[in-house]
Structure 1
């Protein structure tokens, strides 16, 4: 599967909005019958466009009121030392996101915690003691303006239209 057509884009858009749609509901929303819709979903999964399905949980309702952004500075940026740090970060359930960043710092983490005291202890006992960590800098979320992981697809729709037009000529 090299290119996505309008049906594929519609399927991706609908599943991002509601991953619990039945195939029949999805097919109706995108204008396909059930069997071709199911085949397209399977093809999108097999091609790696759809990585999985999961429930989005309200962190506040489960007692995780603190969201911290932590910039970790590595002591050394050599391959095996960074790999060890990456592997250690992956094991921490409190770290919900980690990015290797440019500019100041090496990694940017999103860390959830019950409260400031719990986060403080986690930072002092765990984060600063990870292998190859030189320093850490923390900022706290004061409120979420926009959260979620729905990706924009409009650039693909324009690309799909352009590809379809060039095939006709």
Structure 2
């Protein structure tokens, strides 16, 4: 059997945390401005950011507001399953409307978040894409009524 241990987590120094915090505030902030804030040159910041991205510690992406781009229905779906959870999680991750998949311990075996255009679209995803997957026993859907908080800065605490 192949060794499936994960590499140890990366330890971030205060400077790298500062760079990440600057990028979390504004992902387009110039490296020169970040350098001033953390006490490095523009070139040094560029190198650090490149290393952080290449090592998978950070991703620099545009985060959209689903409501502003035509996706008015979001939901978390709890799935009780049987059999291979990893295979099920992989199949769920392949569904275009799914943006989050986590294998859990507790009342549900897997949780997925879906982003849909409307209730009809959500129903189609549930009935045609999720409930038909091998291993899915039951689902429970938690429709989001109002998003009150969503942050991306937990990674520098």
TM-score (norm 1): 0.79
**In the alignment, which residue of structure 2 is the partner of 1:53?**
60
Looking at structure 2, the residues matched to 65 and 97 of structure 1 have their Cα atoms a distance apart, in angstroms, of 17
RMSD across aligned positions (CA) = 1.9
The structure number with the bigger radius of gyration is 1
Q: Higher relative CO (CA 8 A, sep ≥ 6), structure 1 or 2? A: 1
Matched position secondary structure for 1:126 = helix
Q: Spell out the pairing of 1:1-169 with structure 2 (5 A cutoff).
A: 3-50=11-58, 52-74=59-81, 76-77=82-83, 81-154=84-157
Segments of structure 2 that go 5 or more residues without pairing to the other structure are 1-8
Return the offset for 1:110: 0.7
Instruction: Choose between structure 1 and 2: higher helix proportion.
Output: 1
Looking at structure 2, the residues matched to 23 and 68 of structure 1 have their Cα atoms a distance apart, in angstroms, of 37
Segments of structure 1 that go 5 or more residues without pairing to the other structure are 155-169
TM-score (norm 2): 0.84
The number of residues matched between the two structures is: 149
- Aligned in 2, Cα 1:110/1:3: closer, same or farther, shift over 3 Å? closer
Looking at structure 2, the residues matched to 6 and 84 of structure 1 have their Cα atoms a distance apart, in angstroms, of 38
